[in-house]
Amino acid sequence: MQTERLAILPLATVVALGIGGFSAAACAEDAWVDAFDLQQAQVAQPASAPAPANQQPAADAVITTSPAEAPAPRAAFGTKDSLRLDIEGDGMWDFENAEQFQGRIGLAWFCAQNVELAFYATGGYVWQDGGNAGTYGFDVELRWHFLAREEWSLFCSIGGGVMGSTRSVPSDGSPFNFTPSLGLGGTYEVAPDTRLYAEARWYHISNAQTYVDNPGRDNLGIWVGLSFAL
């Protein structure tokens, strides 16, 4: 019995080795087949071409850019806090013995809607009995555009200023005077941001008793000017 068992052992070992070798060979074959299939798949699949370094957009591609900002439109005439540059000429007559011409340039500020406060530097000339005189001074005028439309307006005004002269105005008065005024006028748009102004006004010349003599003078004034939006 012992001899039979010893004879069976080599046979069992050979069978076991054969089965193990067959199994290993089968596994190796499966692995080789899988590797071969993977290699074939990689060969069959074309490699993707790398993207060009400096690729340009297609000719029909739409390239969008943000538009440049358009300049903001100027404020409408009469808008609160808007500014204007005024250049004016003024003719005045007392219908007795004097005529006066005065030029003004200044800045107008709309301190409220359709209400403007204007500051002017003035210069002019007076033709009068007793000797003509050159004038210079400063005016302030408040205007209310009580009827304001897109292209025109009507206004009333009140103003005042000081006027110096190269000799007494009137000739029997003084070389320094105050100049209160009241007026009624209108504006008309003659070009974009440009208005023609015209006004008739009462214009008084008086030294307010700061000199011994104060004859004073009342004038009818007509002034015309251009006003430019700033």
Residue with tokens 């370094």: 53
> What 8-state DSSP symbol labels residue 213?
-
Phi first, then psi: what are they for 100, rounded to 5°? -140, 135
Class of domain 83-229: mainly beta
Mean pLDDT computed over 213-225? 96
pLDDT tens digits, 59-98:
555 555 555 666 667 789 999 999 999 999 999 999 999 9
- Indicate the domain borders of the chain: 1-42, 83-229
> What 8-state DSSP symbol labels residue 82?
-
> What CA–CA distance (Å, rounded) separates 224 from 86?
10
Name the residue with higher pLDDT: 65 or 126.
Answer: 126
Residue with tokens 């080789």: 32
pLDDT at residue 9 is higher than 50: no
> What CA–CA distance (Å, rounded) separates 171 from 33?
128
Give one word for 114, left, alpha or beta, with left for phi > 0 and alpha for psi -120 to 50: left
pLDDT at residue 195 is higher than 60: yes
CB 169 within 8 A of CB 163: yes
User: What's the token pair of residue 146?
Assistant: 């009580």
Query: In this prediction, what percent of the chain has a pLDDT beyond 70?
Result: 69
Average pLDDT, the chain: 82
> What 8-state DSSP symbol labels residue 132?
-
Mean pLDDT computed over 5-21? 40
Name the residue with higher pLDDT: 206 or 11.
Answer: 206
- Rounded to a whole number of angstroms, the distance between the first and last alpha carbons of the chain is 129
- Report the 10 Å Cβ neighbour count for 219: 20
> What CA–CA distance (Å, rounded) separates 125 from 173?
16
- Residue 16: the pLDDT is 41
Q: Rounded to two decimals, what is the model's pTM?
A: 0.68
